[in-house]
Amino acid sequence: MPSSTPFWWVAAIATAFVVVGLVSAHHMESAGHWVTGMNNRVVWGVPHVFAVFLIVSASGALNAASIASVFGRETYKPLSRLSALMAITLLAGGLTVLVLDLGRPDRLIVAMTHYNFRSIFAWNIFLYTGFIALVVVYLWMMFEPRMNRFVGRVGTTAFAWRLILTTGTGSIFAFLAAREAFDSAVLAPMFIAMSLSFGTALTLIFSALIFSIRGDGLPTALMLNLRRLLGYFVVAVAFFVMVDHLTRLYGAEHHSMERFILLEGGIYPMLFWIGQILLGTILPVVMLLQRRCNTLAPTLVAASLVLVGAFCQLYVLIIGGQAFPIDIVPGFSETSGFFDGVIAEYQPSLAEFGLGMGGVGLALLTYLIGTRVLAFLPTTGFDSGPSS
C-alpha cells in the first residue's frame, strides 16, 4: 500500500490555491473591478486567460479516452477514465473562474434562466453543460459492466461534441467582427489544435502526478505515445499561428496590428516571441521529438513549457487583441479623453492571478478527490477496468 502523504500534500497545495482564488474573487467583487487591471478598454483580463485555457484544455484532455474508445488504441485505455474525469474538472475550474469574474456572479441563476439564442455565449452554456453531462454518462458506461458495450458510441459522441465545444469557445472571439485581432477564420481550427496540445500536456502532467502518488509509474508505452502526440499537436498549433499571421500580413489593412503584436507592442511581442514561440513551441518540440530526451522528466519539462507557451499565447490573443485600438473612423487619426486611438493600458493585479490560479487549484483538487473517492471503490477503477 503506497503512503498517502504525497496525496495530502498535493491536495493541501491545491486547496490553498482554491482559498486564494476565493479570497481574490471576494476582493474583486466587494471592492469592484477597479482594483483589477481591467478597465473600460481591456474588459477581459487575466481571469479570462485562465478560464479559456482551462476550458480549451478540458476538451483536449478527453483525448486519451477518445483515442482508446473511438480509435480503439489499447495503449491509452489505462487513461480513459482518468482523462474523462480530468475533462470534467478542468471545465469546472474554467467555468468557476469565468463566473467569479462576472460583475454580478450572484446572478448566476439569471444566466441559467434567461437565454438569448442569438448569442454564441449562451450556446456555449449548453455546450459546456452538455459536455459535462455527456462525459458523466461516458464515465458511467465505462464503470457499469452492463453498459460497456455503449462506450464506443458515447465516446464518439463526446469526441464530436468536444470539437464543437472548442469551436464554440473560439467563436466567442471570432464573432467579434469589430476587433481586428479576432476577426479571423483560422481562429476556430486554431482553437481545436490548441485544445489538443494544452489538453495533452496537462494529461501528461496530471497522470504522471497521480500515478506517482499511487507509488506507480506512468506506463512507459503510454508516456512515449503521449509525448509524440504532444509534439505533433504543438507543431499543429504553430502552423495555424503562422497561417494566421501570414494571412494578416498579406493585406495592408492589418499591418499596424501585426506590427503591434509582432514588433512594437512592448509586452505583447515579448510574450509572443519568447513565451509562445521560443519557450512554448521551439524548445518543447525539440525536446519531444528527440529520442535522447524520451524519459519522463524531460517529457514533463516539455509539457510544462507547452503550458507556459499556452498562457502567453492566450494573453497575447485575448489581452493584446483588446489593447490594440479599434479604428472607429477609418482614414482618420483619433484622440480623446477616453483613450481613443491609443494602446490601452493593462496592468494585471495579483487578485486576477489569484482567481485564475484558484481555478487551476479547483480543477486539481476535484481531480484528486475524484481519483481518491473512486480508488476506495472496487477494482482500482481508473487505471484499468472492463471498458479498458
From the CB of residue 203, how many other CB atoms can be counted at a distance below 10 Å? 28
Residues 6+ apart with CB under 8 A from 103: 33
User: Residue 23 or 132: which CB sits closer to another protein?
Assistant: 132
- What is the distance of C-alpha 14 from the center of its chain? 18
Residues 6+ apart with CB under 8 A from 148: 141, 142, 386, 387
At its nearest, how many Å lie between another protein and the CB of residue 75?
Answer: 12
User: Residue 100 or 238: which CB sits closer to another protein?
Assistant: 100
**Residues 111, 92: Cα–Cα separation, whole Å:** 16
User: Residue 3 or 116: which CB sits closer to another protein?
Assistant: 116
- For residue 199, give the nearest of 321, 54, 320, 29 by alpha carbon: 54
User: Residue 200 or 207: which CB sits closer to another protein?
Assistant: 207
At its nearest, how many Å lie between another protein and the CB of residue 175?
Answer: 7
What are the cell numbers at 109? 441563476
At its nearest, how many Å lie between another protein and the CB of residue 362?
Answer: 18
At its nearest, how many Å lie between another protein and the CB of residue 31?
Answer: 7
**Residues 363, 48: Cα–Cα separation, whole Å:** 16
Residue identified by cell 463566473 is 99
At its nearest, how many Å lie between another protein and the CB of residue 63?
Answer: 20
At its nearest, how many Å lie between another protein and the CB of residue 44?
Answer: 7
User: Residue 223 or 279: which CB sits closer to another protein?
Assistant: 223
Contact between 267 and 261 under an 8 Å Cβ cutoff? The reply is no
**Residues 116, 95: Cα–Cα separation, whole Å:** 19
At its nearest, how many Å lie between another protein and the CB of residue 354?
Answer: 18
User: Residue 139 or 201: which CB sits closer to another protein?
Assistant: 139
From the CB of residue 163, how many other CB atoms can be counted at a distance below 10 Å? 17
**Residues 313, 320: Cα–Cα separation, whole Å:** 10
User: Residue 142 or 285: which CB sits closer to another protein?
Assistant: 142
At its nearest, how many Å lie between another protein and the CB of residue 156?
Answer: 17
User: Residue 239 or 339: which CB sits closer to another protein?
Assistant: 339
Phi and psi at 120, nearest 5°, equal -65, -25
From the CB of residue 16, how many other CB atoms can be counted at a distance below 10 Å? 14
- For residue 381, give the nearest of 117, 84, 155, 108 by alpha carbon: 84
User: Residue 98 or 202: which CB sits closer to another protein?
Assistant: 98
At its nearest, how many Å lie between another protein and the CB of residue 322?
Answer: 7
Which DSSP letter does residue 376 get?
S
- For residue 372, give the nearest of 238, 263, 209 by alpha carbon: 209
